[in-house]
Structure 1
């Protein structure tokens, strides 16, 4: 009888051990399976979700194959249970186990939004509104209200954000991005102002920012920025009007249809530098660091004029007669290339 009982006990032990080995192997195989994603995918683990909810989410997306072994993961791998809410990026060839490790790490995916140099605040608002995974809070706010929320003294925020790429995690707000962009602008402006040349016709850092925004709109060629800056600085020093088209366009607002006509050049607006002397009252665009640097460290030159060359750059002139010849050459170029 005892011998028979011993045989039964041994058989049960063998059966239990075999079952454990089989289940353990099945769980390992389940966790090792590759996710069936062909490209980067975004998944959000909601607050309060546990490991089983994560499995369900991946099952619902069709990114893993369901298996009975799923229910044993918690017992065999308790270290995998604690996952963190967030929005994560899953990559092709990533295994389920790697996905779970990502959820455990809390390393959320960093989204990116890029603001181009020379763009306007109205364009920034549109970009922010269309950006997914961002919390939108400024859609119904006026520019003045946004300025107040950010602690900006000016009612207009044009030019007061640094144009570059900003990263954020899901749920971050548009005002958070603007706050960072403003802080970076002020830091870059302060640094540029501290290294400005002597004798510039700029009284404040804000003046430098206004000039930088005009430079930003006049050229996208890095090698030309300091020379363009020198033209404007020279004109300011000689009390000449800046006569720059981007300021006219900005002053026209929604009336601008892609063309500037003679009446537009004569129509007074606070921004029309064909009419006013000195700088316009505010920046006319967002700037990058290079234009800020150019505004406060212009090239030493005698140039007072410039006009497009037709090949992407500009022709610079020291006298009006030289400039008029360059203008005629440009007009001839346009006629030939209609």
Structure 2
């Protein structure tokens, strides 16, 4: 007797792998959506612009890290780490100083790319540091590829004539500040602008000057301002330094200020001045000449000019560095000598 035929059964397909792959796909899609969201909040976020266009100023030495951190601090972007990673892998250049134009609708990524190329800048940034010299200013203009050369290479007398400046010496006549000029602006235009600004500052300060100052004219006040500028970088000391030198002038006491010696040494100055340098006469050595030097010794700021016009009303006629920033002011030689010894002690301790 034969066995009845058996009914064949097909094995049902295993659905577990399908569920796994579907799950992984959903996770992947979720991750992609999440990444897209955070990228849209950082790299591809629209850069905030007031109106249709906005100027963006990038200063010398400014870095992408600092720029991105500031954007995050101002709540203009989220996930700054992503911007830093994007910059690391996709932008090889550093930020370039200049004035850029950001249009409404530009992304943060586009802005980061734009400021990596100075050719994208709409204007050229000219930095004139207070206390530097006209010689240094002219050197800056000569090196700037966006400044058209016209007068900076001329001898001083010819340059001043071309600028219609009624002085024989160029020092101190140009206002230090940060400026923005059109690309291709001539050095003549730039220098004329800086000169006019300095004269306006000087004229205004001269009109409002204190009574009884020992200056014969505003140019002598400009000379004093340049000395004050070079003697201290601490704003609160400007009027104190001014007071010391004004009282010395009134007393017929020599100014004896090292910056004038350095300026008179010119290219012979190598970073230090010696006792012999102090004894060597030059037109600017206020250890060997009476009164003011013949011209300014640097480009004084508005604050220094105003200090020259408004010295403090103390009795101090001496000052010396403290060694820890700033100066110690004294009204008599005994106190000054003690201050000098304190300074020397500080310097020995630092060594």
Q: Which runs of structure 2 are paired with 1:143-292 in the superposition (5 Å)?
A: 143-292=156-305
| Number of the residue aligned with 1:307 | 320
More displaced 10-residue stretch of structure 1: 228-237 or 142-151:
142-151
The number of residue pairs the alignment matches comes to 245
Deviation of the 1:230 alpha carbon: 0.3
How many Å separate the matches in 2 of 1:275 and 1:142?
Answer: 29
How many Å separate the matches in 2 of 1:293 and 1:88?
Answer: 30
Deviation of the 1:169 alpha carbon: 0.6
Q: Which runs of structure 2 are paired with 1:130-141 in the superposition (5 Å)?
A: 130-141=143-154
Deviation of the 1:132 alpha carbon: 2.6
Note closer, same or farther for the CA distance 1:135–1:310 as it changes in structure 2 (3 Å cut).
same
Match among 140, 147, 152 for residue 127 of structure 1: 140
| Number of the residue aligned with 1:94 | 106
The answer to whether the 8 A contact 2:99-2:125 is kept is no
Q: Do structure 1's residue 329 and structure 2's residue 320 form an aligned pair? A: no
Deviation of the 1:320 alpha carbon: 0.9
How many Å separate the matches in 1 of 2:229 and 2:330?
Answer: 20
The answer to whether the 8 A contact 2:323-2:343 is kept is yes
The two structures have a TM-score, normalised by structure 2, of 0.66
The answer to whether the 8 A contact 1:162-1:185 is kept is yes
How many Å separate the matches in 2 of 1:322 and 1:219?
Answer: 20
How many Å separate the matches in 1 of 2:335 and 2:100?
Answer: 58
Q: Deviations over 1:183-202 (max 9, x none)?
A: 00000000000011111111
- Structure 1: which 5+ runs fail to align? 1-33, 35-39, 41-86, 96-107
- Structure 2: which 5+ runs fail to align? 1-43, 45-55, 57-97, 108-120
The answer to whether the 8 A contact 1:166-1:177 is kept is no
How many Å separate the matches in 2 of 1:205 and 1:337?
Answer: 42
Q: Secondary structure at the match of 1:166?
A: strand
| Number of the residue aligned with 2:24 | none
Deviation of the 1:88 alpha carbon: 9.4
The two structures, once aligned, show a CA RMSD in angstroms of 2.4
The answer to whether the 8 A contact 2:260-2:297 is kept is yes
